[in-house]
Amino acid sequence: MKTVKFGGSSMADAIQFSKVRDIVLADEKRRIVVVSAPGKRDKNDSKVTDMLYDCYAKAARGIPFADEFAAIEERYNAIIRDLNLDISLDEEFENIKDAFAHRAGRDYAASRGEYLNGLLFAKYIGFEFIEPASCIFFNDNGVFDPDATYPVLSERLKKAGRAVIPGFYGAMPNDTIKTFSRGGSDITGSIAARASGSEIYENWTDVSGFLVADPRIVENPEPIETITYKELRELSYMGAGVLHEEAIFPVRTAGIPINIRNTNKPSDKGTLIVDEAKDGSRFTITGIAGKKGFSVINIEKDLMNAEIGFGRNVLRALEKSNLSFEHMPSGVDTMSVIISTDALKPKQTDVIDEIRERVHPDVLTVEDNLALIAVVGRGMKRTRGTAGRIFSALAHANVNVKMIDQGSSEINVIIGVAEDDFETAVNAVYDIFVKTVV
Ligand code: ASP
């Protein structure tokens, strides 16, 4: 069987509901359906989850919230009307308003978006509704509890046969509602896929999977057909976000692949995320991602190489200011530490003073406006000359490379360039690996 999860834009209104029903019914194996709350219907619209947070913020401060709540009710009532559903949520709305007035909690408030949408979609498609608070559990620290969840959820799904489960939330040991972090319906989908022993976890959204590069930077980039979890992790870290990061873990350990699909283009194959890919990717690289907004602390000291504990002392200075670093390229008598500029700026003076005090460098400078680019691909490991191609492409594009780092897994090369060169650099790498092949 297959577990299918539909995101907010796929569940935003009656038209989307009917597309989703068609998709589910088109494949007999699609039996477990996880739904998000209604998302944006267009660019200027609001997500129901955001409306719920705002509305509850008022309720919790004792400010009247009837108008805000009425707007939320209308999102659901419009779906009921447009689909001619024989259901009324009026009693549910009254209960929720009452709970808001009694300060039932932010997580409870946010979870109602998925809950109500789950009720509607279950009715519309004729599958059983499963309440996540009765089968998805968190521990006392608010961390998902797999041991408590899987036996109960597996049993529940087996009994139902075909089911709709709201995403995003479950219950704490004291029975209060707890949500995952934002975008967390992806995690519910992954948990349900594992609990039901599904052969695949289809995650339906509004794009046809991952693209080799960001379409805002590269014109019309090629889609990624297959990507491994490790590659995805490298790319997501650098900003290529389609799936919640934590959604990988439940299915990964169970060997269940994830297929990212597009509700609005159901015939597109999307991207398949697998543990181990049998073949290489279409191109030597699988994807390119990157971010601006990094700073480099450059440290120089004669005979640094002979000074035991130098690196540790520098890192201790960062630790003292609670700063995490991205990379640490070094030379014989030089060492650089790359840190997100936003994180560094408020603490820069303290950290610099601390480094000076601990290691007495000859030169200590901070350079801003660095961009990092990750070139990721399982194909890089077995292809000689990949690094050579990357750097000659950058040289031809007249981009100065400020930093290079290759992970030990050999599936990623990280390049630091000036922010002004970022777009040119991404395009140069894309062109050399993809355009020359297509
Ligand atoms: N509705 C929740 C959010 O907007 C969860 C989700 O859609 O995955 O974050």
Strand, coil or helix: what is 66? helix
Task: Answer whether 182 contacts ligand 1 (Cβ < 6 A).
Answer: yes
Q: In which residue ranges of the chain is CATH 3.30.2130.10 found?
A: 287-435
Ligand 1 mean position, distance from CA 420 (Å):
34
* pLDDT for 380: 85
Ligand 1 mean position, distance from CA 384 (Å):
43
Burial (Cβ within 10 Å: 0-12, 13-18, ≥19) of residue 128: middle
Pocket test for ligand 1, best of 53, 72, 114, 180 (most atoms within 8 A of CB): 114
Task: Answer whether 203 contacts ligand 1 (Cβ < 6 A).
Answer: no
d(CA 209, CA 268): 9
Ligand 1 mean position, distance from CA 267 (Å):
25
The CATH code of domain 2-206 reads 3.40.1160.10
Task: Answer whether 183 contacts ligand 1 (Cβ < 6 A).
Answer: yes
Q: For each of the chain's 438 residues, which pLDDT tens digit applies?
A: 999 999 999 999 999 999 999 999 999 999 999 999 999 999 999 999 999 999 999 999 999 999 999 999 999 999 999 999 999 999 999 999 999 999 999 999 999 999 999 999 999 999 999 999 999 999 999 999 999 999 999 999 999 999 999 999 999 999 999 999 999 999 999 999 999 999 999 999 998 899 999 988 999 999 999 999 889 888 887 776 778 988 989 999 899 999 999 999 999 999 999 988 777 677 889 999 999 999 999 999 999 888 899 999 999 999 999 999 998 988 889 999 999 999 999 999 999 999 999 999 999 999 999 999 999 998 888 788 888 999 999 999 999 999 998 877 778 999 999 999 999 999 999 999 998 776
Ligand 1 mean position, distance from CA 413 (Å):
32
Pocket test for ligand 1, best of 5, 46, 49 (most atoms within 8 A of CB): 49
Pocket test for ligand 1, best of 47, 50, 56, 191 (most atoms within 8 A of CB): 47
Task: Answer whether 184 contacts ligand 1 (Cβ < 6 A).
Answer: yes
Q: Going by DSSP bridges, is the β-strand pair 163-166/128-129 parallel, antiparallel, or unpaired?
A: parallel
Q: Phi, psi (5° rounding) for residue 291?
A: -145, 150
CB 397 within 8 A of CB 430: no
d(CA 113, CA 39): 10
Q: Going by DSSP bridges, is the β-strand pair 30-35/163-166 parallel, antiparallel, or unpaired?
A: parallel
The CATH class of 287-435 is: alpha beta
DSSP assignment of 352-412, as one string?
Answer: HHHHHHHH--SEEEEEEEEEEEEEE-GGGTT-TTHHHHHHHHHHHTTPPEEEEEE-TTSSE
E strand spans, 302-362: 334-340
CB 425 within 8 A of CB 402: no
Cβ–Cβ contacts within 10 Å for residue 427, how many? 19
Query: Under 8 Å CB-to-CB from 26, ≥6 apart: which residues?
Result: 266
Strand, coil or helix: what is 212? coil
Task: Answer whether 47 contacts ligand 1 (Cβ < 6 A).
Answer: yes
Atom 8 of ligand 1: nearest residue by CA position:
183
Task: Cite the DSSP H helix spans in 61-105.
Answer: 66-83, 90-101
Task: Cite the DSSP H helix spans in 102-228.
Answer: 106-125, 146-160, 185-195
d(CA 61, CA 307): 58
Q: In which residue ranges of the chain is CATH 3.40.1160.10 found?
A: 2-206
Ligand 1 mean position, distance from CA 182 (Å):
5
